[in-house]
Structure 1
Amino acid sequence: MGHWWERNIVEPGKLPLLLALTAFVVTFVVTRVITRLIRAGKGPFGNVRAGGLHIHHVVPGVLLTVVGGFGAVASARHGAAAVLSAVVFGMGVGLVLDEFALILHLDDVYWSEEGRKSVEVVVLTAALVGLLLAGFVPFGVNDLSQEELADRGTVISNIALNFVFSLVSLSKGKTRVAIFGAVVPLVALVGAIRLARPGSPWARRFYGRRPRARARAVLRAYRHDRRWAGPRRVLQDWIGGKPDPRPARLPGRH
């Protein structure tokens, strides 16, 4: 175990990244537990207010992110300062992304349906950082031999090709695939060759005069959403808490 730790974490300089990821996940989990207790009216916790103003935890999150980020740059990933900066940075990012939906909508949507975006972003971020820890690097240029690394043309070609695949996936309305594809090349390739989602820039550009392709895209998107929407919502509710029900609309009001 000690040999594995030295070879895979310490020697490659991944300890700060591991600590940042751990602090990020722990901070998010603790924050969600506290906010759910506050929501249920249990425990000693309550909303932080100053002069009648509700201070969202994204505010200290931004401060911690700034301090940890600049600390990491100044420490150059060496010594106790790098370790401390990584932990502070991870805590800050955890607080900020827990209220990502609030920043996106510029509204307090924490317990609304729109608030699910925060959980999605947190899970996606944790997964991507986990891939980086596992040895994957953006655009899939890891695991190259010394000869291939010496050939800059090969490296640049790999990066450019995978970047194109990720852009195609993004234009097809597959944001998650495009993001993961920047790290795992096969994911980007699969996203690039499959049908685009209805309403995406790719579908509007290339399916406008192809009714059969448009119909197949709609059917595939419907089947995909029907299959995964339920499990995804259950997972999001388990992680972040169930959103408040939408208020019923009164007749004649929009």
Structure 2
Amino acid sequence: MYEKVKAEAGGMGSWFHQNFVEPGKIPMLLVLASFVLTFAITRMITRLIRAGKGPFRNIGGSGGTHIHHVVPGVVLMVVGGFGAVGSSRSGVGAAVCAVIFGIGAGLVLDEFALILHLDDVYWSEQGRQSVEVVVLAAALALLVLSGFSPLGVDSLSEEERQDRTSLLLTLSSSFVFVLITLSKGKLWMALVGTLVPPVAIVGALRLARPCSVWARRFYRRRHRARARMTLREYRRVRRWSAPRRRVQDWIGGAPDDELAQRAGAPDPPR
């Protein structure tokens, strides 16, 4: 029994060494872990502050100015980023800088909606964008850790990588599909498609979304395409809007107006 457990532990150790240590992915793993953990802890603290529970309180500055945690987040990102550039790829210094950068990124992206709207929309409907960006960033980091590289370079053989024509054709075609997907209003598919090219191909071949650049440019006179596009968008929103909102509420907390509606109270003043 002891030998079996030892063999399994050795197998896990060799797997970790082969997939993370040898390719030099330890800093990326630390960035992702510290990023997700920081976001989770930050959301837990902010939800406790909103509920008036626990010892946590908002941090104020001079004159009663509320200091958002995006401020220390930016500082940590700068320190971790410059430290990572100035240190070696491996070693204790790179690991420490990776953790610092991950913590800063978690704090900054937790208030992404605040930066986007230049307003305190943390607990409003627009604040859901922060949760979406954090989930997307974590998903992209997981894809990178899984071995995916931008624009499908990892799918090429060593001979194809040395052939400049094949390399340029692969990069340019993948980039074109990503641009088409983005112009069709499918941001998530475009970003994921930079690492998984088939996703960008699917997004480029499917109908565009209403109000997208592609729809305004190419569907102006195509009435059937516009009708199909509108119907598909209606079905998509009807099918996925409620589940997506429930997941966002579970991760980041419901907006203030939704909580007020559930409690039967009037909406809080803006």
Q: Same fold (TM over 0.5)?
A: yes
Q: TM-score range by the shorter chain?
A: over 0.9
One-letter amino acid matched to 1:85: C
Q: Provide the TM-score with structure 1 as the length reference.
A: 0.96
Within 5 Å, which residues of 2 pair with 1:174-253? 174-245=186-257
> Which residue in the other structure is 2:69 paired with?
57
> Which residue in the other structure is 1:252 paired with?
none
Within the candidate set 110, 116, 120, 1:108 is matched to 120
One-letter amino acid matched to 2:217: R
Instruction: Indicate the SS of the match to 1:44.
Output: coil
In 2, the alpha carbon distance for the partners of 1:141 and 1:243 equals 41
In 2, the alpha carbon distance for the partners of 1:124 and 1:163 equals 19
In 2, the alpha carbon distance for the partners of 1:107 and 1:165 equals 35
In 2, the alpha carbon distance for the partners of 1:230 and 1:152 equals 48
Within the candidate set 81, 91, 100, 2:93 is matched to 81
Shift of 1:78: 2.2
> Which residue in the other structure is 2:19 paired with?
8
Instruction: Indicate the SS of the match to 2:256.
Output: coil
Instruction: Indicate the SS of the match to 1:142.
Output: helix
In 1, the alpha carbon distance for the partners of 2:119 and 2:157 equals 50
Shift of 1:116: 0.2
Within 5 Å, which residues of 2 pair with 1:28-67? 28-51=39-62, 52-67=64-79
Residue by residue, what CA displacement relative to the aligned partner does 1:98-144 show, whole Å, maximum 9, x if unpaired?
00000000000000000000000000000000000000011111032
| Long gaps (5+) in structure 1 | 250-254
Is structure 2 residue 179 aligned with structure 1 residue 167? Answer: yes
Shift of 1:77: 1.4
In 1, the alpha carbon distance for the partners of 2:199 and 2:156 equals 19
Residue by residue, what CA displacement relative to the aligned partner does 1:65-114 show, whole Å, maximum 9, x if unpaired?
00000000011312100000000000000000000000000000000000
Residue by residue, what CA displacement relative to the aligned partner does 1:8-44 show, whole Å, maximum 9, x if unpaired?
1001000000000000000000000000000000000
One-letter amino acid matched to 1:35: T
Residue by residue, what CA displacement relative to the aligned partner does 1:165-190 show, whole Å, maximum 9, x if unpaired?
01001111111111111110100000
Q: Rate the CA distance shift 1:19–1:248 in 2: closer, same or farther, 3 A.
A: closer
In 2, the alpha carbon distance for the partners of 1:78 and 1:147 equals 29
Q: Provide the TM-score with structure 2 as the length reference.
A: 0.90
Residue by residue, what CA displacement relative to the aligned partner does 1:214-245 show, whole Å, maximum 9, x if unpaired?
00000011111111111110000000000011
Instruction: Indicate the SS of the match to 1:141.
Output: helix
Instruction: Indicate the SS of the match to 2:175.
Output: helix
In 2, the alpha carbon distance for the partners of 1:63 and 1:39 equals 25
Shift of 1:248: 5.8
Instruction: Indicate the SS of the match to 1:62.
Output: helix
Within the candidate set 142, 149, 154, 2:166 is matched to 154
| Long gaps (5+) in structure 2 | 1-11, 259-265
Tell me the matched-pair count.
250
In 2, the alpha carbon distance for the partners of 1:61 and 1:103 equals 12
In 2, the alpha carbon distance for the partners of 1:40 and 1:57 equals 18
In 2, the alpha carbon distance for the partners of 1:217 and 1:82 equals 48
In 1, the alpha carbon distance for the partners of 2:76 and 2:45 equals 19
In 2, the alpha carbon distance for the partners of 1:14 and 1:248 equals 47
Instruction: Indicate the SS of the match to 2:104.
Output: helix
Shift of 1:156: 1.6
